Structure 1
Amino acid sequence: MPLELTVEPWADAYQILPGQTCVVVTHSAAEDGSWSGTLREDEPFQVDHRRDSVTVWANGTCFHLGDMAGEAIDAADWECPALGRGPQQ
């Protein structure tokens, strides 16, 4: 069965197929690299795992998804202002 991945606080949902690995990368705009919002101080993520789903709280300004080789899983997620990239205006 696929595993549902939800990335919060954006409520973006993805399906991870059996045997597939998904890497969530979050970016902070804070120059000191600090993170807020997790249960433990200064952690970039909080992960809640259940039998058929996982929720990742990516406590940054944006995130992107990739595989273990760094290839984009969802190309739209690579449009991250923290990386100096964004939608064309």
Structure 2
Amino acid sequence: MSNDGQELLDLTVEPWADMHRIPPKGTCIVVTHAPAGDGTWGLPSHRDAPFEIEYRPDSVTVWVNGHCFHLSDKEGNPIDEGVYGGGCPAQTRPPQ
């Protein structure tokens, strides 16, 4: 999601209540992974959708239907790497 406004845009990722702020002209990409081997997303009413999104003028809430999430900018660089709900396996990096 992109912030086309002039003020910070609050981003809440649920069900972890993880808060982030998207700066003006900034973009934040939310990625999640399905926990089930059959590729479903877990919630009976949204089994084919990885997210539910609620938009408000000064904030957006993303309900992640997967078992974890991670955030990146539009170039794919991690945002706040290592603080994501459930320890997202896509964010686990081998020791350097």
| CA RMSD between the two structures | 2.1
Rounded to whole Å, the distance in 1 between the matches of 2:41 and 2:47 is 7
CA contact (8 A) 2:32 2:69 kept: yes
Counterpart of 2:12, as a letter, is T
CA contact (8 A) 2:70 2:91 kept: no
The size of the alignment, in residue pairs, is: 85
CA contact (8 A) 1:38 1:46 kept: no
Deviation by residue 1:22-77 (Cα, 9 ceiling, x = unmatched):
00001112112111327544200000000000000011110000011111011114
What pairs up with 1:9-24 in 2 under 5 angstroms? Answer: 9-24=15-30
With normalisation by structure 2, the TM-score equals 0.78
Give the unaligned 5+ runs of structure 1.
none
Counterpart of 1:3, as a letter, is L
Matched, 1:85 2:92: yes
Q: 2:73 maps to which residue?
A: 67
Give the unaligned 5+ runs of structure 2.
1-6
Range 32-41 or range 63-72, more displaced = 32-41
